[in-house]
A and B are shown apart, each in its own frame.
Chain A
Amino acid sequence: MKIFVCVKHVPDTAATIKVAGEAGYEEGGVKFVSNPYDEFGIEEAVKTVEKNGGEVVILTVGKAGAAATMRGAMAMGAHRGILVKTDTQFLDPALTAQALKAAMDQDGLGDMVFTGKGSVDSESFQTQYCLAAALGVPVANEVSALSLGEGKAVAEQETGGGDKQVLELSLPCVIGATKGLNEPRYPKFPDIMKAKKKELREIDIADLGIDLSQGRICLETLEIVPERSGAKMLEGDTDAQIAELVRILREDEKVI
């Protein structure tokens, strides 16, 4: 089997984001990682190939720095990588999908494609759907369990509140992985060292014929959400405090 895993190069969720200009942020010194949900996809792909044979190709549309992140994915067992280079972190997902498809066309289509359920930077939750549409194959997202049969895949999709629906997809298909699908492995020292030597091909996004001016989702501004500064201390005796807290949570904050 040939499996593509689309991995996004994103700032670590623990990183401090500092906005720069209208709609940018400072990347200097920020630690980048594989989009955490993509790691479930990597693990699933590697496991599948370990069982059935074949190869796992990491496919990334991202900045030049994404190569380091892709090495991390390869340390988890992927065989090689293709980096489609662009200068934007926030590309219209439709264009990202076009670029992914073009790269797959060039490399030879796969039997399956994994992505994460969404990226933790732009949180747009749709690239996998655009990709599936472009490839003309079915897609399932938020997949927390997967089994492969002859020409088909059976996927469990999280539908909230612990509910799930079981979907059957014909192969090839696109699977958006989420937590629960597996426990992504941590790399071992020898894997990390081996990953450095694996093939990583870089392609410029323009060479795939993608016209970035065609994007229709435009990031206009990016603002920092201010941090809290000091609690509202509830007053009165314990019962009064609790009553007030429950009222606030129900009526003001609407979180319960």
Chain B
Amino acid sequence: MAKTGILIETENNGVKETSLGVMAAAAGTEIHALVMDGDAAAARETLAAHGAAVVVDMAAGKTVQSPDQAAAALAAAAKEYGLTAILGTASAIGKDIFARAAALMGQPLASDILGLDLEQRTVKKSHFSGKTLATLRLDADIFLCTVRPNLFEPAQAQAEGALAAFDPGVADAGGVKVLEVKKGDADTLDLTEAPVVVTGGRAVNAAENFAMLDACAAKLGAAVGASRAAVDAGFANHAMQVGQTGKTVSPRLYIACGVSGAVQHFAGMKTSKVIVAINEDKDAPIFAKCDYGIVGDIFEVVPRLTEKL
């Protein structure tokens, strides 16, 4: 049986949902849950319930000093347990550690994958900003993948979950030192990188009415954008413009409020994962190109939506 290592991420001493999802992606293999920070013993039960045959406690009293150390630890674990694949979450940190590990090990890596076939050693992932889906074959005895968060549902699959302590024996911190970790200010979300975008169109009707969208966005952890029509009318500034002549965004959720859906607007947001449109005009072109539509007055719909979130 193939042996898969999963790099487990924890928070508040619990296993992250996203890591459990990654375990689900490796179902059918002998899963080694690699716990590098956090309390492996405390997590053992949850990990066993989600299919971990072995829970590897790599912290062993020490904390990892640098990303290169983490990568070296992963490489050491792979060797120790004879892993044929190592999976992790495609978070910023996860992608960083895996890329370091793959380079260190000289083994192939697929980042931010959308599908996985461990037997065929193939993965599916986005190419060209989501416009195409690529199938890659990773031609090696061992390979590494980071999986897009939330893509796989955590699944119950009771396994032994034998706790094993492993000291990767990484001493050298490498050329990269972590000096400090800064917590971000969630308010300064960048439009192009925001996971959720709420956009207002001409129907917003006045600059001050954008406050209504700001309120909704705050609830969603979203950035606020504007259509060209709203910018031209002076309701919003150019930096907020989404579309052909503005910014291109690709959030997982895009909510267009009172945007008619000029073609140039689509050019700037059509790679969004889910598009929701709220518009009074049932013939508005936006409804032909979005996923969910609500016909209604944005001044009625948006505040109530904000309430509900």
Contacts and interface: CB of A to CB of B under 8 A. Distances in A.
A231 B291 contact: yes
Given A126-B103, A220-B137, A222-B134, A162 B112 contact: no
A229 B103 contact: no
Contacts of A164: 181-182, 184
B68 interface: yes
Contact of A166 (B108, B182, B296): B182
Contacts of A256: 196, 220, 253, 309
B288 A230 contact: yes
A227 B127 CA distance: 15
Given A92-B108, A94-B106, A218 B137 contact: yes
A94 B185 CA distance: 36
A151 to B, nearest CB: 11
Contacts of A121: 127-128
B273 interface: yes
B306 to A, nearest CB: 10
Nearest to B276: A245
Nearest to A93: B109
Interface string B188-209: 1110110010000000000000
A124 B111 contact: yes
B188 A162 contact: yes
A217 B100 contact: no
B109 to A, nearest CB: 5
Contact of A14 (B103, B110, B189, B267): B267
Contact of B110 (A138, A142, A217, A229): A217
Given A13-B129, A163-B182, A242-B308, A142 B96 contact: yes
Interface string A215-233: 1111111111101111111
B135 interface: yes
Contacts of B91: 159-160
A241 interface: yes
B99 A129 contact: yes
A165 B292 contact: no
A231 B128 contact: no
Contact of B293 (A126, A168, A223, A232): A232
A57 B227 CA distance: 39
B277 A231 contact: yes
B273 A255 contact: yes
A23 B127 CA distance: 11
A217 B138 contact: yes
Interface stretch (B45-53, B158-166, B297-305): B297-305
Given A138-B174, A245-B294, A11 B128 contact: yes
B79 interface: no
B131 A17 contact: yes
Interface in A142-186: 142, 154, 156-170, 173, 179-180
Contacts of A32: none
A160 B292 contact: no
Category for how many chain B residues contact A? 35 or more
Contacts of A125: 95, 99, 111-112
A135 B275 CA distance: 44
A123 B301 CA distance: 37
B219 to A, nearest CB: 9
B140 interface: yes
Given A179-B193, A228-B291, A246 B112 contact: no
B177 interface: yes
A222 B99 contact: no
A234 B178 contact: no
Nearest to B179: A166
A238 B295 CA distance: 9
Contacts of A170: 175
B132 A138 contact: no
A61 B68 CA distance: 27
A242 B301 contact: yes
Contacts of A51: none
A246 B140 contact: no
A167 B186 contact: no
Contact of A129 (B102, B136, B277, B293): B102
Contact of A218 (B68, B131, B136, B309): B136
Interface in B268-301: 270, 273-277, 287-296, 300-301
A238 B304 contact: yes
A123 B92 CA distance: 14
B133 interface: yes
B176 interface: yes
Contact of B274 (A168, A227, A255): A255
A123 B112 contact: yes
Given A163-B184, A166-B180, 16 more contacts: A25-B132, A129-B100, A133-B104, A154-B179, A156-B182, A160-B91, A161-B186, A162-B186, A168-B176, A217-B137, A220-B136, A222-B133, A224-B132, A230-B288, A233-B292, A233-B295
The 4 closest A-B pairs by CB, nearest first: A162-B184, A138-B175, A231-B293, A133-B103
